[in-house]
Every structure is written in C-alpha cells, then in structure tokens.
Amino acid sequence: MSAERIVAVRASLIRTLDPERPQVECLVARGDRVEAIGSKEEIDSVLGGPAEWLDLRPAVIVPGFTDSHVHLIEWAMGLSRPDLAGAASMAEALERIGLAAGGAPADAWLEFKGWNPVWRQQAGLADLDAASKGRAVGLIAHDLHSGWLNSEAMRRLEIVPERADPPGGLVQRDPDGSPDGVLVERALDWWYQGRPRASEADR
C-alpha cells in the first residue's frame, strides 16, 4: 500500500474556527485530513525535514461550507410559484398576493415562494386574509422550513385550535390558542399532504 501524501500549505491567512487559535499561516495535510496547524516554524518542526510545500499566498483558506440537504420536490414546485423574494416589505408582498388572488377562481389554492418570516411582524392573519380575497393562500419561506397559511387554507386543512402540534413541528398560536397560520418544520407536512395534488402537467 502506498503511503499517504503529506502536503504542507502556506497562505496569507488560514481560518481555523478554533476559538483558541482562530487563524494561522500554515497547515499540514496527510491524505484527506488536516494533521497540524501553526506558524511556518511550527510546521517545519512538525515535519522534521524536507517536505512538499504548497505556497498559496496571497490566498486565504477557510473551512469548506457544506449544506448537506436539499428540498428537491419543493424547490422544483417552486419554479412555477409567484415569487415574493423581491418585495421590500410585507405590505408590498400583500399587494402581489392580492393581484394574484383577484384573478384566480374562487376555489383556487395559491402558493407563493420567497416569504420572509421577519415580515410576520409587519402584518397579521387578518391582513393576509384580506389580501387573499377568499382564496386559500400559502406562503412558503425562502429556506423551505416554515410557511404561513391564511384562514381559508387552514380551514381546508383542518388546522384548528384542538389539533396538537405534530412531532418535530410547531404551529404558532395566538394567546388564546388559535393557530395564527405559521407552520414550522414537520407541521408543514399537514400543508404538503393536504393541498390539492399537482396536475400531471405541473409535475
């Protein structure tokens, strides 16, 4: 078996994410693992002799950033949804919702992507209901981990005060226990499983 390759790397700055030593200038990699970090002198001492050096100065090295999950189905379905991401505020988002709802059939189920949960502080359920004009409306957050349903959508999905939160999920509620329409994490399954099925063309 061949020996693992050992490479010493030098950069202008290497960020380590170690609070006790947040940055260094050199590291040693053995195979696919970082074996040591430190100054040039410290790494020379660790190596104990001639070594393969890779000088990347003036580059900066940071740890790899990995998002290990993807909401493939919801992302794909979102390609055909109206996008609220460009709205500057919840008021502007409500205007867009109102325009779409006004041109939709009375029994329509409308979904919008790009909702910013911070906007929830700028408007209440009554505001969303008014903009929806009686249509069932759902707003899915940009990270796909939460969403906001209007009263008509909650009625169709039977999301009522007596219904307990699902395991791993949260239904935000008003002080009297009434759902305010915001679903978090696994509570979104009620929405996804209860909404009208997409047509063959949409799928």
Query: Is residue 58 reached through a cis peptide bond, with omega within 30 degrees of 0 on the bond before it?
Result: yes
Q: What percent of the chain has pLDDT over 90?
A: 71
Is residue 118 included in any domain, yes or no?
Answer: yes
**Residues in Cβ contact with 154 at an 8 Å cutoff, skipping those fewer than 6 apart:** 160, 179, 181
Domain count, the chain: 2
Among 63-77, 93-107, 176-190, the minimum mean pLDDT is found in 63-77
Q: What's the confidence (pLDDT) of residue 80?
A: 85
In angstroms, the CA 100 to CA 82 distance is 9
pLDDT at 1 over 60: no
Q: Answer whether 0.85 is exceeded by the pTM.
A: no
Residues 93-123: tens digit of each pLDDT: 999 999 999 999 999 999 999 999 999 889 9
In angstroms, the CA 175 to CA 168 distance is 21
**Residues in Cβ contact with 14 at an 8 Å cutoff, skipping those fewer than 6 apart:** 23, 24, 25, 26, 27, 37, 60, 61
Q: Look up the domain containing 166 and give its range.
A: 72-194
User: How big is the CA angle at 80 (ends 116 and 68), to the nearest 5 degrees?
Assistant: 60
Is residue 203 included in any domain, yes or no?
Answer: no
Residues 5-19: tens digit of each pLDDT: 889 999 999 999 889
Instruction: Tell me which residue has tokens 């078996």.
Output: 1
Instruction: Tell me which residue has tokens 């329409």.
Output: 181
Which CATH number goes with the domain that contains 77?
Answer: 3.10.310.70
Q: What's the confidence (pLDDT) of residue 63?
A: 84
Residues 162, 137 within the same domain: yes
What tokens were used for 151?
């009263």
Is residue 202 a contact partner of residue 80, using CB atoms and an 8 Å limit?
yes
Is residue 142 included in any domain, yes or no?
Answer: yes
